[in-house]
Each structure stands twice: as structure tokens, then as C-alpha cells.
Amino acid sequence: MVLPDYLADVANEMRAKSTAIRRDFATHRLSAGENREELVKDFLAAHLPRRFEVCSGMVISHNGAFSNQADLVVVDALNNAPLYGNSVNKLWPVESVLALFEVKTSLGPSELRDSIAKGRRFKTLQRRFFNPGYGQRIADSLFVIWAFDCPTAETLKQNLLQELAKVPRSEQPDFVIVPDRVVVRGGSYLELSTIGQPTSLFRRQLEQQHGPDLEKNLLPMPLQVGDAGGNSLMAWYLWFYSWLMQAGDRSSALVDYLPPEQIFGHIV
């Protein structure tokens, strides 16, 4: 079939380009990191529907809380516009963001710890959607850690479990992807894909079969690690694409971004 071979080739090409960047920018780590981010941005922009915009920038909530500087965000550009729209680094209302990416060269314990902290800050931003439920089927946003190298799948799993031991599922990374090595599902994505939305008929049916504590009965582990080699990118892309298609439209209630009770003028 075309898709598995095609995406395996893409993963190999990304690996080769990342290796070249490491060689040619060995003494300029910041430039190397920016170039790797461009590799991921180019892949997403080329393979996601045009309704989604892929860019860098920051994410803000209605109460003035910010995310860390995002390496990449995927936003619903059809129903939203950023502040500083003509700048390289845009400022996006959190409600418009479908996914935030942290791009790493490799995934040792310190890189995981740093990424998870940034993901928690993003995941816990308060969201107030415009007309919630109208065209919107999923209210969550994905957090993705993308890297170009990692230890063995078993070591990565143990490192992740150690770093996530005290992190609530709702604040955990949804995906970890090393395109030609390994793919990890976790967080809210794993919960949603396994037991469905909280109010869905599917979840109610599972509760009838397995009891009310579905997380304990059906999700004993916080994550699933796939040692898929060259098929890792294909698996991640299918899961990510499917989630985007299911998420539906979303936009911000911009009036909530105004300071409460502030008078901006008078009618004369």
C-alpha cells in the first residue's frame, strides 16, 4: 500500500535532515533547534487540511495566563485570527489551538521533564469557547512531544512513567513521537480513544459492562508505547489526523478577553 511506504520514506528523510542539521550546526544549538522545528512545521503544513494553520508563537487565556513560547501550534484558522497576525510569533487565544508541539533533538529524562512542565502549563489554561457545542465535539487540546532521537522504547517508557507518576492524566502529553523509532499514546487522548467522551453512549455502555471506574478497569497504565520503527510516523499521523477531524470547529468568546467591569467609553 502507498501510505505506509510513503510515510516511512518521509520519516527516513526527516532523520537524514536532522542528522545533517546536527552536523552542520554543531556549535549553534539554537539555530539547529529552529531548523528542526521547521522540519516538523513543513511536514504538518504539507499533510494537514488547509483549514488548519501551523505556526509558532504563544497562547493566551482569557484571564491573562500565557503558555510558554510554543515551538509549534496547530490552530483552527478558519474560525479564528491571532493577535500580531503579520509577525512570525503570533499570539493565539487558547480556544483556537487544537494542538501544541514541543520539538526536541532527543528525549533524555531532563528533556522529558522540561517538555512535560510546558505541556502542563498549556493544558491547564482556562478555556471559554464561543457557542460551546456548536460544531465543536471535543473541548480538549492535544500536547505533542516530537523528537528526532530517543533511548530504547523500554527505557523511554520507564522514563516517562517516572516523570508522569504524579501528573494528572488530563495534564499529561497526548503523544510522544520519534518518527522512525517509537510512538506513545497517553493523556486525555488515550482516555478518549479508549473509553470515549464522558457523556457518550459508548462510555455508558462500557460502564454497564465494566463498572463505573473505567480508568481503573480499562486504563491501568497511563500510556501505551509502540516500538514501531519506520511505521511510527504513520501510526501517529493517522491518530492525530483522526482526532483533528473529530474535534470539530472551535473559536474564542472574545468578549471574555475584556477586563471585567472596565468602562471603555461613553455613549453621547
pLDDT digits (tens, 9 = 90+) for 139-148: 899 999 999 9
- Read off the pLDDT band of 29 (50, 70, 90): low
Residue linked to cell 474560525: 79
pLDDT(118) > 90: yes
In this structure, are residues 191 and 206 in contact, taking their beta carbons and an 8 Å threshold?
A: no
Cell 455502555 sits on residue: 205
Nearest to 71 by CA among 107, 92, 47, 41: 41
DSSP state letters, 87-151: SSEEEEEGGGEEEEEEEES---HHHHHHHHHHHHHHHTS---BSSTTSSB-----EEEEEES--S
Q: What is the pLDDT of residue 131?
A: 79
Using the predicted structure, report yes or no on whether residue 43 has a pLDDT greater than 70.
Answer: yes
- The pLDDT tens digits of the residues spanning 123-140 come to 999 999 987 767 778 889
C-alpha–C-alpha distance, residues 79 and 129, integer Å: 12
In this prediction, what percent of the chain has a pLDDT beyond 90?
68
pLDDT of the residue at 120 = 97
Which residue matches cell numbers 470547529? 249
Residue 246 pLDDT > 70: yes
The arithmetic mean of pLDDT across residues 100-112, rounded, is 95
Q: What does the pLDDT look like over 58-71, one tens digit per residue?
A: 999 999 999 988 89
How far CA 217 is from CA of 124, 127, 157, in Å, comes to 26, 30, 21
- The closest alpha carbon to 69, from 33, 26, 106, belongs to 33
218-236 average pLDDT score: 92
Q: What is the pLDDT of residues 183-222, one digit of tens each?
A: 999 999 999 999 888 878 888 898 889 988 888 788 878 8
What share of the chain has pLDDT > 70, as a percent?
A: 96
Overall average pLDDT of the 5-18 stretch = 92
Kindly report the average pLDDT of the chain as a whole number. 91
What pairing do the DSSP bridges indicate for beta strands 70-76 and 97-104? antiparallel
Cell of 232: 511510527
Rounded to 10 degrees, the C-alpha dihedral 45/49/54/59 comes to -170
Q: Which residues, 6+ apart, have CB-to-CB distance to 44 below 8 Å?
A: 54, 72, 74
Segment 144-153 shows an average pLDDT of 96
Q: What is the pLDDT of residue 79?
A: 92
pLDDT value for 108: 94
Q: Give me the pLDDT at residue 109, please.
A: 95
CB 111 within 8 A of CB 147: yes
Model confidence at 28: pLDDT above 90: no
Q: Which of 79-88, 103-112, 127-136 has the lowest mean pLDDT?
A: 127-136
Mind listing the pLDDT tens digit for each residue in 154-170?
999 999 999 999 999 99
Alpha helices in the chain (DSSP H): 2-24, 29-47, 109-123, 153-163, 187-195, 201-210, 214-218, 232-247
Distance, CA of 26 to CA of 32 (rounded, Å) = 8
pTM of the shown model: 0.93
Q: Could you give the dihedral angle defined by the CA atoms of residues 138, 47, 86 and 38, in that order, rounded to the nearest 10 degrees?
A: 110
